[in-house]
Chain A
Amino acid sequence: MTEIGMDLVQKMYTQVFSIRRFEQVAIENYRLGNIRGYYHPYLGEEGIAVGVISALKPDDYITSTHRGHGHCIAKGHDPKRMFAEVFGKATGYCQGLGGSMHISSRALNNLGANGIVAGGIPIATGAAMGIKQKGTNQVVVCFFSDGASNNGTFHEGLNIAAVFKLPVVYVLENNQYAVSTPIAHSALCADLAERAASYCMPGYSSEGNDAVEVYEMMQEPLERARVGGGPSLVEFKTYRHAGHHVNDPGAYMPQDVLAYWKTKDPVDLLKKRLLDMGVTQAEIEAINAQVEQEMEAGVEFALQSPQLSWADFERQFVEP
């Protein structure tokens, strides 16, 4: 087991808090009209992205989902360029052409968020096949949801990955709703990771709100993938702090269940760990202040950034 030192926990806290604030600031800007379309916040699920990606090497790959801002921040994306992207500006990661559901970065080995539920499973599986062809020891993490685990590509992809022993770890973020349909209404397994047995691959299931626990849980499957032992399915249970997207009040989410999961708020859990490790409240405040500053600077950057002109768009992206 990798030693989990103060630096790592501090880094995880900074990331979890950055995701939290990024989403909250983005929602404010959505209300102000600076962000359009669908925006799916990662609020409440931050522990998974941060725990999983902290366990990766920088040149490992991820595929993300429509609820992907957390994965981006954990993978090292600059909030400035993320804000610019969701504001639709030319300085965004995708020149403002992808928006919230499609942030990707070739430089950071983020193969992309995805507007199609389960759409990333074949892509991640193929990236792992590509890695095998290249002969590097990189690993792919495929983020997807409980909803995606009911899609056909889940079965196809996990089966193929198992057959070819591909270097991929399937990370199932079980936030317990497919939009508004509770997972219990669409799958009978208490732990969706049980499905791993169908593909003769290891399955793991636990709660995912504590980034440190997530990080620890990822060590074994990542190591297995890296040394040619094949894929694993790792399920992390969590709960959204709000509805499916910013305009969904989430009325179907029982208040007592939400209250229970808020007692396991990923930000609070890491803050407690830091305090237990001897970090002072003042030091935490300092991290928070730095994050706030970064978010403000990000919004300012996005507001000041130009949009891609029609002429530039046409030149690059319109076929004759």
Chain B
Amino acid sequence: MTKIKYRDALRLALKEEMERDPLVFCMGEGIGERGGSYKVTDGLYKQFGAGRVIDTPIAEATFVGMAYGAGMVGARPVIEVLFIDFTLLTLDQVINQAAKYYTMSGGQGNAPMVVRTQGGAGNGLAGQHSQSLEALFYHIPGLKVVMPSTPYDAKGLLKSSIREGAPVMFIEHKLLYMTEGEVPEEEYLIPLGKADIKRQGTDVTLVTYSYMTLKCMEAAQKLEEQGISAEVVDLRTLSPLDKETILKSVEKTSRLVIVHEAVKRGGVGGDIAAMVMEEGFDYLDAPILRVAGKNTVVPYNLELEKNCVPTVEEITQTVHTVMGR
């Protein structure tokens, strides 16, 4: 095991997959010689050349659609969309085209393509560069949505996503790139659709994903000091959703708090809460509560921005509420 950064884990995944399969290639804005805005592709241009690490014009709708077309003829494209905010320019190609093909073609095949992008607040980038838009893609049948929180998960899930053979939205978080974690030297894969219990607990389940997993781990540590044992379920993949792990954990703890950075309104948390009510109501000893982003536009001002996303204190307070103490 060595300790590496999240962005380095992603780069290793790309490098290994490009070495394994000559049909894997990367496209995006400034990912070539420059190595990408968050340095995920740094060095790949040197190793694989301009033919496989391709800088595109600023034409998101088209280069994401191109991934779908390239996947249809047998290539294995990995596309970087610099900010998830910019994926809004690509929705026709992602939602009307790529996500529909498998069913609309009567199951003739699927289009392997990975759209890597990143979201989240925290860098003072204001309303058009700080959103958490995963619920848009989670809503769409035909798409897989992957949101890893650790370098280990990022590497194993990106490799699996590239081999998935279907359209995958691989959503990173801008505050995770510099975080570190243990990653084994030897090759490994993590299957899509499997949540990971990042911390065992018995009193309350925290269901979360992406950067908020780190906040939940911090909150769980604080809660332990306060005599509450919290279990942290990191979904890792939103679609397919690992209902089984969520329900098993709730069966064990009888209490559920869902934590995500995306705004509460129409967020993934509402859907998970409804699913647990439908399929695990008898396990519950308290109402399900959500800790989520405020229903607003992420502001530039630092203090105001901080208030828009869930804090460790909000999480611990909400857990106290569901515990009744």
A interface residues (Cβ-Cβ under 8 A, vs B)? 61, 63, 92-98, 102, 104-106, 111-112, 114-116, 119, 121-134, 138, 152-153, 156-157, 159-160, 163-164, 316-317, 319-320
Contact A156-B61, Cβ < 8 Å, known A123-B72, A127-B72, A134-B73: yes
For B65, the chain A residues whose CB sits under 8 A away are 119, 121-123, 125-126, 153, 157
Cross-interface CB contact of A160 among B57, B68, B106, B243, cutoff 8 Å: B57
Contact A102-B104, Cβ < 8 Å, known A116-B97, A125-B66: yes
For B109, the chain A residues whose CB sits under 8 A away are 106
For B23, the chain A residues whose CB sits under 8 A away are 133-134
User: B74 in the interface, Cβ–Cβ < 8 Å?
Assistant: yes
Q: Is the CB of A124 within 8 A of B69?
A: yes
For the complex, what is the distance from the CA of A125 to the CA of B23, rounded to whole Å? 17
Q: Is the CB of B105 within 8 A of A122?
A: no
Cross-interface CB contact of B70 among A98, A127, A319, cutoff 8 Å: A127
For B93, the chain A residues whose CB sits under 8 A away are 119, 122-123
Q: Is the CB of B70 within 8 A of A93?
A: no
For the complex, what is the distance from the CA of A310 to the CA of B48, rounded to whole Å? 47
Which 8 pairs between the two chains have the least Cβ-Cβ distance?
A122-B65, A126-B69, A126-B66, A95-B106, A130-B70, A94-B106, A156-B59, A156-B62
For B104, the chain A residues whose CB sits under 8 A away are 94, 97-98, 102, 104, 112
User: B71 in the interface, Cβ–Cβ < 8 Å?
Assistant: yes
User: B108 in the interface, Cβ–Cβ < 8 Å?
Assistant: yes
For the complex, what is the distance from the CA of A123 to the CA of B75, rounded to whole Å? 13
**Which of B54, B96, B108 has the most chain A CB atoms closer than 10 A to its own CB?**
B108
For B43, the chain A residues whose CB sits under 8 A away are none
User: B176 in the interface, Cβ–Cβ < 8 Å?
Assistant: no
Q: Is the CB of B92 within 8 A of A119?
A: yes
B interface residues (Cβ-Cβ under 8 A, vs A)? 23, 25, 27, 51-52, 54, 56-57, 59, 61-75, 77, 92-93, 96-97, 101-109, 141, 239-240, 243
Q: Is the CB of A119 within 8 A of B97?
A: yes
A317 closest partner in B (C-beta): B103
A61 closest partner in B (C-beta): B73
For B54, the chain A residues whose CB sits under 8 A away are 164
Name 30 interchain pairs, CB-CB below 8 A, sorted by A.
A61-B73, A93-B105, A94-B108, A95-B106, A98-B104, A111-B73, A116-B97, A119-B92, A119-B97, A122-B61, A122-B93, A123-B72, A125-B66, A126-B69, A126-B72, A127-B69, A129-B27, A129-B77, A130-B69, A130-B71, A130-B77, A133-B25, A133-B70, A134-B73, A138-B73, A157-B62, A160-B56, A160-B57, A160-B66, A319-B141
A111 closest partner in B (C-beta): B72
Q: Is the CB of B72 within 8 A of A130?
A: yes
Q: Is the CB of B75 within 8 A of A104?
A: no
For B52, the chain A residues whose CB sits under 8 A away are 133
**Which of A96, A98, A128 has the most chain B CB atoms closer than 10 A to its own CB?**
A98
For the complex, what is the distance from the CA of A102 to the CA of B101, rounded to whole Å? 9
B93 closest partner in A (C-beta): A122
For B56, the chain A residues whose CB sits under 8 A away are 160
For B106, the chain A residues whose CB sits under 8 A away are 92-98
For A116, the chain B residues whose CB sits under 8 A away are 92, 96-97
For B61, the chain A residues whose CB sits under 8 A away are 122, 152-153, 156
